[in-house]
Amino acid sequence: MARVLSSDEAKSAITRIQEIINGGLADQIQALDGQGQLLSDPNNWDGPLAEQFRGSTWPETKSALEKAKTELDELQQQLQKIAQDIFTAGGGA
């Protein structure tokens, strides 16, 4: 039989991670995207470094931000399941 443990520290860690995600981390990622879009517009910023930013730096960064957002959404779903499992196991009194 598998061991089931749900310490107070585990429950607190789940809550803290959810608070961080819900407390603005996803919003900050969205804000970064908006600023990157502004810098990618040659009407706002142009020149050799701006071209490098538009051509490689920003597309790579935007992709990483989108991946981070997706992974945060998945983490949030997993945390909800973990919290429910802890409650079901008797640790959620």
- What number is the average pLDDT over the span 15-21? 87
47 phi, psi to nearest 5 deg: 130, 180
% of the chain with per-residue pLDDT over 90: 45
The larger pLDDT score, comparing residue 55 to residue 1, is at: 55
% of the chain with per-residue pLDDT over 70: 88
- What number is the average pLDDT over the span 13-39? 89
* Domain-embedded: residue 7: no
Q: Which two tokens stand for residue 35?
A: 């600023």
For residue 49, the enclosing domain spans 26-88
Q: Which residues contact 83 (CB under 8 A, 6 or more apart)?
A: 11, 14, 92
* Domain-embedded: residue 39: yes
* Domain-embedded: residue 36: yes
pLDDT band at 89 (very low <50, low <70, confident <90, very high): low
- On the question of pLDDT at 93 being above 50, the answer is no
Q: Which residues contact 78 (CB under 8 A, 6 or more apart)?
A: none
- On the question of pLDDT at 79 being above 60, the answer is yes
What integer pLDDT is reported at residue 36 of this predicted model?
96
* Domain-embedded: residue 18: no
* Domain-embedded: residue 79: yes
Number of domains in the chain: 1
* Domain-embedded: residue 31: yes
* Domain-embedded: residue 9: no
* Domain-embedded: residue 46: yes
